[in-house]
Amino acid sequence: MEQLSMTQLSEWISPDYHFGFEELCLSANISSDNIIELIDYNIITPISGKQPQEWQFNITAMRIVNKAARLHRDLEIDWADIGLILNLLDDIEYLRSENAQLKLQLKRFLF
């Protein structure tokens, strides 16, 4: 059976769908301690629940956890630094998008 990527998964999961703590750990194949570290560093935040067994997360948290897990595993980045890296990657994505929009506007004036 083919495994779905996070992009494919997010296409058919409602934005209102919530994942439990264990599902989040399984999705990124990381320990519960690592998820707790991500929460402690304010990289992700449960949308509900007081204790880990009650915590619920949205699809955005799952995307972030999977990206954080890849950075940690592939580049050996400490969990404490991942928040900064993710913010920088988001900034790069925003700037690329803005640059593309500006190029389209500029083309209208040149042609």
Asked whether residue 1 is domain-assigned, the answer is no
| CATH code for position 53 | 1.10.1660.10
Asked whether residue 24 is domain-assigned, the answer is yes
Give me the domain span that covers residue 96. Answer: 6-110
Output the pTM of the full model.
Answer: 0.76
| Model pLDDT for residues 23-46, shown as the tens digit of each residue | 999 988 999 999 999 999 999 999
Mean pLDDT to the nearest integer, 105-111: 85
Task: For residue 33, give the nearest of 6, 89, 72 by alpha carbon.
Answer: 72
Number of domains comprising the chain: 1
Asked whether residue 95 is domain-assigned, the answer is yes
| Model pLDDT for residues 9-29, shown as the tens digit of each residue | 555 556 678 899 999 999 889
Asked whether residue 79 is domain-assigned, the answer is yes
Asked whether residue 88 is domain-assigned, the answer is yes
Asked whether residue 22 is domain-assigned, the answer is yes
